[in-house]
Amino acid sequence: MGFVEVKELGKRYGEITAVESLSFDIQEGEVFSLLGPNGAGKSTTIGMLSALIQPTSGDARIGGLSVKGRSAQLRKLFGIVPQEIALYEEMSGRDNLNFWGRLYGLRGKALAARVDAILDRVGLADRAESRIKTYSGGMKRRLNIAAGLVHGPRLVFMDEPTVGIDPQSRRAVLDLILDLKREGTTILYTTHYMAEAEELSDRVGIIDHGRLLAVGTCRQLSEGIGGNEHLRVALAGREEGERLTERLRLLPGLTVESEGANVTITAPRVGQLIPKIVEAAASVRAALRDIQIREQNLETVFLAYTGRELAGQGGE
Amino acid sequence: MALLLIAWQDLKRSFRDPVGILMTLAVPLALTVAIGLVAGYTPFGKAPNDGFDALSYIAPGMALFFMMFSVRQAAKTTAEDADRGVSDRLRASPASDLSIRAGTMVSHIVLLFLQLAVLVGISTLLYGLQWGPTGPVLLVCLVVSVTAGGWVGLLVVLGRTPSRINALGTALTLIFGIVSRSFAAVIPTTGWMDRLARITPNYWGLHAFSSLALGGSLRSVLPDFGALAIMFAALWIIVSAAGALVPSRR
C-alpha cells in the first residue's frame, strides 16, 4: 500500500476530459514525477490530490484519507508549492512564513525556530525582513517552496516549481528538492523538463491528454519501449531524404521516418548500423551532412509513448 | 482561530499597500478637509452659521462614495489573490472554507468601517460637524460596512478578473454615488433614480446618517438597518453560491 494511492481518478469539465482514470501509488519517501506537455492534466491531477478540485470519478487516498473528504486532518499531511508565486507580496518573507506556519497550527518558539530553519535552508535568511515584491524571481520561487514546507509536511506537491527562473536559481531549487528527498520527504513533482524528472525522480509517470501512458523508473520505461535508440541523418534536400528512406526500409528490423531533409532511424544499438547507412546513402547518391545518435533517455521514451517530442513545451 | 488569523493577515497586508491607503484614507480625508475649507469652516474653529453649509450636506454622501471605492479595491485584491494562487493555497491548508470566507469578509468590513469612522471622526474633531449621537452613528458605519462587504463579493462574481473588477467597480461607485444623491448638490436626481438608489448601500446609509444628524435616535434608523440586512443576506447567498468570496483560479 502506498502513502498516496490513486485509483481511477478522473475529472471532466462538461464534455472535456481533463484527466481520465488515473491510477498509481507513491510510496513514503519516494519522489514521483508526472511528466507531460501543456494541457496534459498534470496541474488538474495535483489539484485533485491536494483537495482543491473535486474529482468526477475515482478517488485518491493520502495516508489512508480520501481526498474527497477534504478533511483538515488530510490537508495537514501535505504542503503545496503551486506554479504561481502564491504569497503576500506586500509582506516580508518572514511575515509570510509566520502566517502559513500559524495556519497549520505552529505557534511561539516552535514557529520561530521552524521559520528561521526554513529561511536558512532556502538561502533567504539575510532577506527575511524585506518585502517579497523586492525579491528577484528566483528568490520568490524559493520562498514559494519554503511556504509549502514550513509546517514540515510528510508529502509535498510541487507543480512545476522551476518554471521561468534563471539557471542558477533553478539549480538551487533542484538541490533543495534533492535534500528533501534524502531526508525522506515524499514528493509529487510535475514538470515538462525531462532532465529534471530524470535527476530527481525515483519513478516517473508519463501523462498526455489526461491519460497516464506509462509509470516506472527511467530504466523500466526505457526497457518498456524495447531499448531502441534513434539515429538522425541530415541530408542536402527532401528528395535525397525520400530516396534514402526508401532504401533503408528494405533493411530488416528498422523503423525509418523522413521529415524534409532529415531521416530518423529507430532500432536497438543503432550506432552499429552507421556503415550500412553510409553505404545505403552512397547507393542512392544522397550526400550526408550530419549523423546524430540520440541515446535512450526520458526524452526518447516520451517520444515513443506519445508519438511527439516534449522539447520546447511551455508550462501547463 | 483561522478566521481571525486570515482577517488579521489581510488587514496587515492592506495597511502595507500604499495605493490602498491612499484610496481608503488619504484621498477621502484630504477632500473632506478641502471641502470644509471651501465651505468656510476653520479647522478647530466654529462652524459657519450663514448661508449654504456644503460640508454638512456633502460629507455623509462623500464618505459613502469613497467607501464604494474601497469596495472596488477590496474586490480587486480578492481577484488578484485568486490569480496569484494565494486563495488556492489557503484552501489547501487545514482552515475550513467557512473560516477563509468569513476571515476575508471580516477584513473587508473592518477596513470599510475604519474608513467611515475615521471620516466621521476627523470631520467632527476638525470642523465640529454634527453627525448625531456617537453610538448610533458608529453602528450605522458598521452596518453599512457589513453590507458593502457583500458588494465586494458581488463585484468579484461579476468581474472575475482584476482589470474587469477595476472597471466595473469604478462604474458602480459612480452610479451608486449619483443615484443615491451623493452629488445631489451638483447633479439633480429623478424618480427612477430614487427607485434605483434603493438597491445601493449608499442610499440607506445616507438616509440613516441624515436621520441621526437631524436629531433621530437609534429607533429611527432601524428600518434602514433592516433594508441593509436584507441586502447583505441576498448578496451573501449569491456570492456563496458562486463561491466567489474565496475564488479559485482552477
- Grid coordinates representing B25 are 484614507
Q: Please list every residue in chain B whose beta carbon sits closer than 8 Å to the beta carbon of residue A72.
A: 94-96
Q: Give the one of A73, A75, A105 whose C-beta lies nearest to B92's C-beta.
A: A75
Same domain, A133 and A111: yes
Question: Any idea what the CATH number is for the domain that residue A245 is in?
Answer: 3.30.70.260
- Grid coordinates representing B176 are 451608486
Q: Residue A248: name the closest of A210, A208, A276, A214 by CA.
A: A276
Q: What is the pLDDT of residue A94?
A: 97
CA distance B102 to A175: 39
Helix H segments across A50-136? 72-77, 93-103, 108-121
Residue type, A264: T
Alpha carbon A254 to its chain centroid, in Å, reads 31
Q: Please list every residue in chain B whose beta carbon sits closer than 8 Å to the beta carbon of residue A63.
A: none
B1, closest residue in chain A (CA to CA): A103
Same domain, A262 and A192: no
pLDDT in tens, A76-126: 999 999 999 999 999 999 999 999 999 999 999 999 999 999 999 999 999
Contact A72 B94 (CB under 8 A): yes
* Pairing mode, strands A155-159 and A186-191: parallel
Q: Is the pLDDT of residue A137 over 60?
A: yes
Inside any domain, residue A244 = yes
What's the half-sphere exposure (Cβ side, CA atoms, 13 Å) at A43? 16
Based on the number of CB atoms within 10 Å of its own CB, is A287 exposed (0-12), middle (13-18) or buried (19 or more)? exposed
Q: Contact B234/B225 with Cβ under 8 angstroms?
A: no
Inside any domain, residue A309 = no
Same domain, A170 and A234: no
Same domain, A219 and A259: no
Inside any domain, residue A305 = no
Q: What is the pLDDT of residue A130?
A: 96
pLDDT-derived band at A315 (thresholds 50, 70, 90) equals very low
Choosing from A223, A238, A259, the residue where a domain stops is A223
CA distance B62 to B55: 10
**Whole-number Cα distances in Å, A271 to A225, A243, A254:** 18, 21, 12
Inside any domain, residue B249 = no
pLDDT-derived band at A314 (thresholds 50, 70, 90) equals very low
pLDDT in tens, B19-67: 778 877 888 888 888 888 887 787 777 666 655 566 777 888 888 998 9
Owning domain of residue B44: 2-242
**DSSP class per residue in chain B:** -HHHHHHHHHHHHHHT-HHHHIIIIIHHHHHHHHHHHHTT--TTSPPP-SS--HHHHHHHHHHHHHHHHHHHHHHHHHHHHHHHTHHHHHHTSSS-HHHHHHHHHHHHHHHHHHHHHHHHHHHHHHH------HHHHHHHHHHHHHHHHHHHHHHHHHH-SHHHHHHHHHHHHHHHHHHTTTTTTTS---HHHHHHHTTSHHHHHHHHHHHHHTT--GGGGHHHHHHHHHHHHHHHHHHHHHT-SS----
Q: Please list every residue in chain B whose beta carbon sits closer than 8 Å to the beta carbon of residue A89.
A: 84
Same domain, A173 and A96: yes
Q: Please list every residue in chain A whose beta carbon sits closer than 8 Å to the beta carbon of residue B88.
A: 47, 52, 80, 82, 86
pLDDT in tens, A280-296: 999 999 999 999 887 66
B243: left (phi over 0), alpha (psi -120 to 50) or beta: left
Q: How far apart are the first and last CA of chain A?
A: 30
CA distance A101 to B93: 10
Inside any domain, residue A80 = yes
CA distance A100 to B93: 8
Q: Give the one of A53, A83, A104 whose C-beta lies nearest to B93's C-beta.
A: A104
Question: Any idea what the CATH number is for the domain that residue A39 is in?
Answer: 3.40.50.300
CB-based contacts of A219, cutoff 8 Å, min separation 6:
none
CB-based contacts of B228, cutoff 8 Å, min separation 6:
B143, B144, B146, B147, B201, B204, B205
Based on the number of CB atoms within 10 Å of its own CB, is A285 exposed (0-12), middle (13-18) or buried (19 or more)? exposed
Contact A103 B2 (CB under 8 A): yes
Q: Is A65 on the interface with B (CB under 8 A)?
A: no
Q: Residue A205: name the closest of A213, A154, A219, A269 by CA.
A: A213
Residue with cell 484519507: A65
Choosing from A169, A193, A223, the residue where a domain stops is A223
Q: What is the pLDDT of residue A267?
A: 83
Inside any domain, residue A281 = yes
Q: Contact A47/A3 with Cβ under 8 angstroms?
A: no
Q: Residue B9: name the closest of A97, A23, A265 by CA.
A: A97
Inside any domain, residue B250 = no
Q: What is the pTM of this model?
A: 0.82
Same domain, A157 and A266: no
CA distance B1 to B3: 5
A280 to chain B, closest Cα gap in Å: 54
Average pLDDT value for residue range A47-51: 94
3-state secondary structure B193-211: HHHHHCCCHHHHHHHHHHH
Q: What is the pLDDT of residue B239?
A: 86
CB burial string A174-198: b at 16+ within 10 A, e below: bebbeebbeeebbbbbbbbbbebbb
Q: Contact B14/B107 with Cβ under 8 angstroms?
A: yes
Owning domain of residue A239: 228-295
Q: How many structural domains is chain A composed of?
A: 2
ipTM score for this prediction: 0.84
**Whole-number Cα distances in Å, B49 to A277, B34, B62, B120:** 105, 18, 22, 20
Q: Is A102 on the interface with B (CB under 8 A)?
A: yes
CB-based contacts of A275, cutoff 8 Å, min separation 6:
none
Same domain, A186 and A250: no
pLDDT-derived band at A316 (thresholds 50, 70, 90) equals very low
Same domain, A130 and A233: no
- Grid coordinates representing A164 are 521561468
Q: Which parts of chain B sit beneath pLDDT 70?
A: 46-54, 183-190, 243-250
Q: What is the pLDDT of residue A122?
A: 92
Same domain, A64 and A205: yes
B82, closest residue in chain A (CA to CA): A86
- Grid coordinates representing B179 are 443615484
What's the half-sphere exposure (Cβ side, CA atoms, 13 Å) at B169? 30
Q: Give the one of A82, A90, A105 whose C-beta lies nearest to B85's C-beta.
A: A82
- Grid coordinates representing A282 are 552512397
Q: Residue B117: name the closest of B219, B205, B197 by CA.
A: B205
Inside any domain, residue A312 = no
Inside any domain, residue A304 = no
CB-based contacts of A195, cutoff 8 Å, min separation 6:
none
Same domain, A239 and A106: no
Q: Please list every residue in chain A whose beta carbon sits closer than 8 Å to the beta carbon of residue B248.
A: 52
Which of B3, B4, B9, B83 should we substitute to test contact with A (largest number of A Cβ atoms within 10 Å)?
Answer: B9
Q: Is the pLDDT of residue A312 over 60?
A: no
Number of A:B CB contacts under 8 A? 70
Inside any domain, residue B88 = yes
Same domain, A134 and A149: yes
Same domain, A239 and A118: no
Inside any domain, residue B173 = yes
Q: How many structural domains is chain B composed of?
A: 1
A127 to chain B, closest Cα gap in Å: 18
Q: Give the one of A53, A86, A105 whose C-beta lies nearest to B89's C-beta.
A: A86
Inside any domain, residue A314 = no
